[in-house]
Amino acid sequence: MLKSKNWHQKHRDDLDYGSRIADSVAKGMGSWKFIIIQTVLVVLWMGLNLVAFVQHWDVYPFILLNLLFSTQAAYAAPIIMMSQNRQNERDRVQAQADYQTNIDAKLEIEALAAKLNSIEVEKLDKIMRMLEEMKS
């Protein structure tokens, strides 16, 4: 039995390799796990450079660390924006699907209301005929 795909499954299946990577990077960088790991690494970096007795590879004010953060931000920002653009596209597709569902539901409700109205009219006509027959 074939199952039809919903809009989210279709959208996910249409993503290319780069889009999947961008979504994974954005998901990873937007997590507490990433923030905690990065914080631990920064504290270690600073701590080791402050207490190093012989060799400081990045002395205060940690210019190399700032360069690493700048490079990370230069790559992360466009990747995250690509992921956000895809999220916006997914939202538009979902809104369109919801709109179409609402239109279909409205048409079905109107058809049911018309059918109920015709049944009601038929019942009233039948009752009136029965009353007229009882009078005669």
Residue 94: which residues within 8 A CB-CB, separation 6 or more? 7, 8
> Which residue, 136, 40, 23, is CA-closest to 83?
23
pLDDT along the chain (136 residues), means of 10: 64 80 87 95 90 79 93 93 88 91 97 95 92 87
- pTM of this prediction? 0.61
- Closest to 87 (Cα-Cα) out of 10, 14, 23: 23
Q: List, as one string, the DSSP characters of 8-23.
A: HHHHHHT--HHHHHHH
- Is the distance from CB of 86 to CB of 15 less than 8 angstroms? yes
Q: What is the pLDDT of residue 120?
A: 94
Instruction: Determine the pLDDT at residue 7.
Output: 63
